[in-house]
Amino acid sequence: MKELSLHILDIVQNSLRAGASLVQIMVTIDTRQDFLRLKIEDNGCGMTEDFLQQVTDPFTTTRTTRKVGLGIPLLKEAAERTGGHFIIQSQVGVGTMVEANFVYRHIDCMPLGDMASTMMILIQGSPEVDFIYEYSFNERSFLLKTAELREILQHVPLDEPQVLKWIHDFVQENEGLVREGNVNENN
């Protein structure tokens, strides 16, 4: 994959398939400490310890031995390729947390990509799910909480085209504003 947002889409799809009603997506960029961290937390069905081993173990990823897909190993590999690290924690009946840490200025650190469209696609596909998206760039950040939006909009569904467009523009504009405060950082 060429953009982190595509990895995010993939990992969040796992959460949705696991029946999560709450999915928290965090993107944290720290140019001083030179890291980019993705964190996706859900309250879905979770995984047993044995299964978790199977899901992350690169030796079980060959076609013949692996019954599940490669979304998690691919993200793990992408993070480790930059000198970063990957953490996955899960508990049956509680939920799952996936964290991928990238070395931000490493040549193999992919661009974040289009998070505005990613959030729009996710909300369009699962308007009943509570999504929290937090983007931080150094000391600045912004939050999108669909539960709050739903309350404000009352009877207007989140998957109405105008609402989706608003969400898209909100994410895009705020990402720009949050980064703009850091123009001297050369990013």
18 forms part of the interface with ligand ADP (CB under 6 A): yes
Query: Minimal distance in Å, beta carbon 121 to Mg ion?
Result: 15
Distance (Å, rounded) from C-alpha 157 to C-alpha 60?
42
Pairing state between β 85-91 and 95-103:
antiparallel
SS3 40: strand
Q: Which one among 71, 83, 113, 127 touches Mg ion, defined by CB under 5 A?
A: 71
* Comparison of 14 and 90: residue with beta carbon closer to Mg ion: 14
Residue with Cβ nearer ligand ADP (15 or 174) = 15
Phi, psi (5° rounding) for residue 70?
A: -120, 10
One-letter amino acid identity for 69? G
Q: Using CB under 5 A, which of the segments 33-41, 66-74, 103-111, 148-156 binds Mg ion?
A: 66-74
Q: Is 96 in the site for ligand ADP (CB under 6 A)?
A: yes
Q: Which stretch binds ligand ADP (CB under 6 A): 64-72, 125-133, 136-144, 148-156?
A: 64-72
Residue at shortest CB range from ligand ADP: 69
Which range binds ligand ADP by CB under 6 A, 43-51, 118-126, 135-143, 175-183?
A: 43-51
Q: Which two tokens stand for residue 13?
A: 């799809």
Amino acid at residue number 104? Y
Burial per residue of 13-45, b for 16 or more beta-carbon CB atoms within 10 angstroms, e otherwise: ebbbebebebbbbbbbbeeeeebbbbbbbbbbb
Please tell me the chain's helix, strand, coil percentages from 3-state DSSP, rounded to the nearest 5: 40, 25, 35
Residue 171 binds which entry of Mg ion, ligand ADP, none, with Cβ cut-offs from 5 to 8 Å by kind? none
**Which residues face 136 on adjacent strands?**
28, 141
Task: Please choose, out of 40-48, 114-122, 129-137, 148-156, the segment that lies near ligand ADP by the rule CB under 6 A.
Answer: 40-48
**83 is a contact residue toward Mg ion (CB under 5 A):** no
Nearer to ligand ADP, 43 or 82 (CB): 43
Residues that bind Mg ion (CB under 5 A): 14, 71
